Structure 1
Amino acid sequence: MWLAPVGAEPRLAAHNLLRTLGSTLVDNPTLRHDQSGRPHIPGLAVSISYSRHLIAVAASYGGPVGVDVEEVRARDVAGLAGRWFAPRELEWMGRQDDELVAFLQLWTGKEAVGKALGVGLGEAGLRREMPLGGGAVESVPGLVVTHLRWPDAVLAVAAPAGEVEVSRRSPTLDPPCARG
């Protein structure tokens, strides 16, 4: 996974960053989109996410991958959490030092899993329970959620177990990269 600032055109910047990441993994990557708008590069599983100020892209040889980034900014999350989170998730969230960051870890995990499954947040199930603090997703055997902290942001990567490696290599801002 690579991370970069958004710039003026987030979608274009995300596609350019994904092409750059793809070129480190396959020769002459061709970025296409399916009918739902999901990006594809032959030979790789890929995912894109962007927020107001950040872009995250991920690619994997080993199977499905999903990425999500959310900026840490003041917002009311109680209603969303109460509506979509399981009692176990709500209890865990309430025990954390930073309830907003805990909410964002669960939310980005759900989003990343939905993207990895190719069905998005709604179809993947907002009610799908996430591993608390990251780890194996019980409802999807072999899929693991890994969380990465970045100043003022929470990132989640969903990928096959054993596929995520955290390093510090990237052409962007030297962010943490999860490479699989």
Structure 2
Amino acid sequence: MHVWTAPAGDDQRSAAKELLLELAGSLLERTAVLRHEPSGRPYVDGLAVSLSHSRSLVAVAASATGPVGVDVEDVYPRDVSGLARRWFDPSELEWMAGEADELTAFLQLWTAKEAVGKALGLGLRNTGLRRRMPLPAPVQPEHARRGLALPAGLVSSEPSLTVLHLPVDQQAVLAVALPAAATEVLLTEHHGAALRRTVRSRTSFPVVVRGI
């Protein structure tokens, strides 16, 4: 599975579409054409794809081996307690209450729900917000210093899918949903400065991070 990120710029939608087509074209080695299923889920012939954007960041994902979903949300001060109480499972609310940073905890769950909904082609329709997500494990200080991805977890209601939170430089939370049998995630950050680093999540597969 490939995930690319880039600064959003002034037109986030166009930036996300252009980045997705560039990613798909690099994988297919031909010009990619973005299409949509009747449900609205995007696809490129030969690839499962997904895209997301916030005010500061665009994120796209593509895979030739199974459904994918990606979601990104900016981290900025806001009250999320009402949304959480309305939609989240009691176990998720309990986990949030125990986290030092309630907003980031909320966004980890929200982006996971969005990513899974996109992978399923349903979005947040059909009780997508109520779909219980695997709870992120605590990140140890050494993992935070090394920029490791948060551990993946199987989605209990969709055991063919797993969710992973990937590290990004910006103040944002990025989640991807991918087949549980996936063996590698390659994250490429486009930011105009040469940077290459390799990190591994606490799962059975590596997350390789490249900067361009």
The whole-number CA distance in structure 2 between the counterparts of 1:33 and 1:176 is 34
Q: How high is the sequence identity, in percent, across the aligned residues?
A: 57
1:148 aligns to what?
Answer: 166
How many equivalent pairs are there? Answer: 178
Give me the whole-angstrom Cα distance separating, in 1, the residues matched to 2:53 and 2:196. 15
CA RMSD of aligned residues (A): 2.1
Q: Aligned partners of 1:31, 1:111: CA distance in 2, in Å?
A: 20
Listed as ranges, the matches of 1:133-144 within 5 Å are: 133=136, 134-144=152-162
Structure 1 runs not aligned, ≥5 long: none
Specify which structure has the bigger relative contact order, considering alpha-carbon pairs within 8 angstroms and separated by 6 or more residues. Answer: 1
* Aligned counterpart, 1:17: 19
Is the alpha carbon distance of 1:162 and 1:176 closer, same or farther for their aligned partners in structure 2, counting shifts above 3 Å?
farther
**Cα displacement string for residues 153-176 of structure 1 (whole angstroms, at most 9, x for unaligned residues):** 001000001426344545x12598
The structure with the greater share of residues assigned to strand is 2
Structure 1 or 2, whichever has the larger Rg, is: 2
Indicate if the aligned counterparts of 2:40 and 2:121 stay in contact, CA closer than 8 A: no
Counterpart of 1:43?
Answer: 46
Change over 3 Å in CA distance of 1:49–1:23 after alignment to 2: same
Q: Does the 8 Å contact 2:50/2:60 carry over to 1?
A: yes
The answer to which of 11-20 and 35-44 deviates more is 35-44
Q: Which contiguous aligned blocks of 4+ residues in structure 1 show a shift greater than 6 angstroms? A: none
Say if 1:99 and 1:64 are closer, same or farther in 2 by CA, change over 3 A.
Answer: same
Q: 2:101 aligns with which of 98, 102, 106?
A: 98
TM-score if structure 1 supplies the norm length? 0.90
For structure 2, list consecutive stretches of 5 or more residues without a partner in the other structure.
137-151, 199-206
The amino acid that maps onto 1:137 is: V
String of CA shifts for 1:107-142, please: whole Å, max 9, x gaps: 000000000000111235210000001410010022
After superposition, residues 47-126 of structure 1 pair within 5 angstroms as: 47-123=50-126, 125-126=128-129
When structure 1 is superposed on structure 2, of 103-112 and 123-132 the one drifting more is 123-132
Structure 1 match to 2:184: 165
* TM-score, L = length of structure 2: 0.77
CA distance in structure 2 between the aligned counterparts of 1:163 and 1:42, rounded to whole angstroms: 20
